[in-house]
Amino acid sequence: MLEKFFPKDFNFFDFFDKEMSYAEEACDLFKGIAAKGEVGTEDREKMREIEHSGDKMAYAIIEHLNKTFITPFDREDIHTLAKKLDDVNDMLNTIVSRMKVYKIKEPNKLLIEFSEIIEKAVCALGVAVRGLRDTKHMNKVVEACKQVSAYESEGDKLRDNALGWLVDNEKDPIEFIKWKEIYQEAETVLDICKVVGHVVETILVKQA
């Protein structure tokens, strides 16, 4: 009788797992691009596809949310989680787009460092988001959220170092502008990860 409130064919956890996997895919691709130091035509296309798939997944979650009466956790938290998780892909896509437009052709040590911190943060985020399904192992989720926050602080320091390097060494103003933008966007990916971690923490607090 309550079946229509619990639609068999829609499970929010499955959808968040899928959305999370797009963020992981985008993150892997970005790490490879940073290592190569150049955005190939195929990379550009692949990143755009991931971003598009993530976008569709986020809207599917929100659309189902709007049609569903009973949800596993607060409606507003589902909405925020779907949107903010999608912002991870969006920002990685923006960086890759900028690298292509700015004709970056060489690996950049600092960008590689950013890509490694981003990978760790997204990996911890995967533990947090996938852990929401099972309320028995909440400590693991709390721990993962703390890690995300720590990676964001690491990113802050790296951004300061990166801008400091530019001020001391980059005499070409156009190059200064390009790299300042790319470094700041890379740090923004970590800011977004931190926000997603906070949404997960909020969900935990409400269920406690």
Least distance between its own copies and beta carbon 23 (Å): 20
- Cα 47 to Cα 4, 28, 53: the distances in Å are 37, 10, 10
Q: Which two structure tokens, joined as six digits, stand for 129?
A: 């988001």
If the CB atoms of residues 21 and 202 are measured against its own copies, the closer one turns out to be 202
If the CB atoms of residues 70 and 208 are measured against its own copies, the closer one turns out to be 208
If the CB atoms of residues 24 and 191 are measured against its own copies, the closer one turns out to be 191
Least distance between its own copies and beta carbon 207 (Å): 10
* Terminal Cα distance for the chain, rounded: 29
Side-chain-side CA neighbours of residue 61 (13 Å): 28
Least distance between its own copies and beta carbon 9 (Å): 17
Q: Which residues bind its own copies (CB under 8 A)?
A: 59, 62-63, 66-67, 97-98, 100-103, 160, 163-164, 167, 173-174, 176-178, 180, 198, 202, 205-206, 208
Least distance between its own copies and beta carbon 34 (Å): 20
If the CB atoms of residues 98 and 140 are measured against its own copies, the closer one turns out to be 98
- Rounded-to-integer distance, Cα 90 and Cα 106, Å: 23
Burial (Cβ within 10 Å: 0-12, 13-18, ≥19) of residue 19: buried
